[in-house]
Chain A
Amino acid sequence: MVGSTPLGGFLLVAALLFSIGLAGALTRRNAILVLIGIELMLNAANLNLIAFWRYGPHPELLTGMMFAIFSIAVAAAEAAVGLGLVISIYRHARTTDLDQMNRMKG
């Protein structure tokens, strides 16, 4: 299976995933959708980590896998914090519209 699909294919999918995530994060006004976009970008990065590991010089070491697992764990924590923030902001301001959350400027 590894032999059949070239590295470029994985990278292309990852790049696509990242772009979709970035677009979502930049354009959506709902904070939850922005978070989803960020998750997409993280997963694109994870895909890259795995792909480079499998096609790299030492596929027998578990380096790439470990990176990915750490990254997923961090992403899960980050998602939890992000959602928590969104909920508390919602409770406070009764909205999740990012354009209206501009009170933390200097």
Chain B
Amino acid sequence: MQESISFTPQLAASPIAEILWLIPALPIVAAGLAALLKQPRRKTAATLAIGAMSVSLLLSQVALAHVVGGWTQGVAVRETVNFAWMHAGATSVDLGWVLDPLSAVMLAMVSLVGLLIFIYSVGYMEHDENFTRFFCFMSLFAGAMLAVVIANSLLLLFMGWELVGLTSYLLIGFWYQKPAAAAAAKKAFLTTRVGDVFFLLGIVWLFAQSGTLLFYNHGGGSMERAALTALLAQPAAFGLTAAGAIGLLIFAGAAGKSGQFPLHVWLPDAMEGPTPVSALIHAATMVAAGVYLVARVYPLMQAGALAGGTTTALTVVTWVGAFTAVFAALIAVAQNDIKRILAYSTVSQLGYMMAGLGMGGVAVGMFHLITHAFFKALLFMGAGSVIHGCHEEQDIRKMGGLKADMPLTFITYAVGMLALCGFPLLFSGFWSKDGILEAAQHWSVAKAPFYMLVFGALLTAFYMTRQVAYVFFGHWRGGKTAHESPAVMTLPLVILAFFAVALGLIGTPAWPWFRAFLEGHAAEFSFHRFAEPGLLVLMGTSTVVVLLGLGLGWKLYSGDGPAPEDADVLEKSVPLIWGWLHDRLYIDELYGVTVIAFYGWWARVSDWLDRRVWGGLVAGVAWAFGLFAQFNRFLDNNWVNGGFDKGCEELVSGGGLLARVQNGRVQTYLRILALAVVALVAILIWSSRP
């Protein structure tokens, strides 16, 4: 919660910052080239996408190394490249990109996870006939996401943001032959659009107030002190300052993309897309974009906070996040689709990130975002591997005992699952979640979010244990036997599993490297922080909670599991609550009878208006013009035409007369000529008479 300290202004951007635009541009160009390919050129498309992504990854690593290098020398690197996009009178709309710790970390994560998912897709989509189209969309998506990450202008960010929205629509509806996939794509697009409308309002308002959409521009950007002071002085409605109101509007956009309650409904349905899409969209990129956006505009969100205090915007972010975390975790308990469980888990974890941002600052939320991106991508791709191995079966009740059939998938999945649960000490999820819990514990406004998040952690451990027990333990309940996936799919899993463990090392309380890096102060290695009051207690609490969840899940589901048609263990004991949770707390149905019903009614009213009122108006005008036309025809027929016809006849007869002279007999012409000469001579002689 502190501002960047040793920020030295960078007058000239370094070479890597100058070419930062290449990182999103390469995948977008690759997508364009892939779009021009003919359908059978599968290898070319995959090579293009993976090649472009590899170069982007390389550049991202160079950028990260540059920022880390500056940081170790005590410089908080923030290099921007801005340019005017268009001028209107005295004002101009600027675009630009920024290289700072936040964007560098995010770039490295997105391009690495993206590349692994691309490689994995080669195996997963092997038998799909639209392989080329798939890689085209994936590339475009990755490029758009990278554009969001490097943007130094809210407008450029919004452009990438909308491109992400578009490509998510295309990718979720990739198998558009399935009605469910087409509906899910539409739902995702429309739901995120609701948030985006607020986001756009926020952008326009911010532009109207501060005159720039650049984040950082050597003191003239909208996230810098001068603009923020002006925004704070400007009151808005409901006791909010303009800064707070704009922050809330932008958060609404972020909530739409990041699946926060009440705009979370699209995310579970989006599981209709191919599994690599789920991994890319719902783990590493699109849903993370919302959290990243809040982190990016954090100075705005935080503006006006007193020391250690919080602002209205951040309080809202916290409550929405904490509520979503528990709410989605509850629903995840009662789902049977392997990907749907992960989807609700993602919603829940995004809630954690938001709460972390709201209570602990950028570093806390972003650390969970990064670790979550790795282990959730791992889980989704593991789930994809399971689905692939089980011949497109997604119901966990029809699986079982897969740890023998798919050992590599099992081990990596277990790593991801333990990281997600926050299993103590070894896994990255433990440290990032603990960071959030610690922030919640010290939050000055209320203690409720802390208890909610602890309860969410318990539920997370419980539903993940349930899922793993169903899928990998017990005995096989499906039809055809499962098989292990090819190496092109398992290798990315192993790499991700490595990161799911190793990333924890950069965010432990003993060595808070990540936090120090983002906040721009030196990281020091010491175990003394563990001695701080409360920290060990907190770690102990979270350990106990996780173990409790794991144990509870194992106790209930470790047996052979019920047959697919049997009721769940929980369903037998608490059928009412189970029913609610299984039906997703009826949020979709609630929207069905409120929003959608209203729009249906409104559409019918509009239809009636169109047919009766506007249609009648148009028909009346048409009838009047018809009448006028009849009158015109009458005039034409009787007056105008007569005059014209007469004139034409005269012309024709005159022409006939003249044509008779031109009869084609040369001698006649000559005779006339001779007569004329004679006449001329006669006249000359006559007139020259003395």
A interface with B by C-beta (< 8 Å): 22, 25-27, 29, 34, 98-99, 101-106
Contacts and interface: CB of A to CB of B under 8 A. Distances in A.
A47 B584 CA distance: 122
A106 B671 CA distance: 19
Given A26-B667, A102-B665, 19 more contacts: A22-B674, A25-B667, A25-B670, A26-B670, A26-B674, A27-B667, A29-B667, A34-B667, A98-B665, A98-B666, A98-B667, A99-B665, A101-B664, A102-B663, A102-B664, A103-B664, A104-B664, A105-B662, A105-B664
A26 B671 contact: yes
B659 interface: yes
Given A98-B665, A99-B665, A106 B670 contact: no
Contacts of B663: 102, 105
A27 B667 CA distance: 8
Interface string B643-674: 00000000000000001001111110011001
Interface of B: 659, 662-667, 670-671, 674
Nearest to A27: B667
Contacts of B666: 98, 101
15 contacts: A25-B667, A25-B670, A26-B667, A26-B670, A34-B667, A98-B665, A98-B667, A99-B665, A99-B667, A101-B664, A102-B665, A104-B664, A105-B662, A105-B663, A106-B659
Nearest to A28: B667
A19 to B, nearest CB: 10
A45 B664 CA distance: 28
Contacts of A25: 667, 670
Nearest to B663: A105
Nearest to A106: B662
A93 to B, nearest CB: 13
B200 to A, nearest CB: 72
A96 to B, nearest CB: 12
Contacts of A101: 664, 666
A67 to B, nearest CB: 21
Contacts of A105: 659, 662-664
Nearest to A22: B674
Contacts of B670: 25-26
A16 to B, nearest CB: 16
Contacts of B671: 26
Nearest to A102: B664
A83 to B, nearest CB: 16
A105 to B, nearest CB: 3
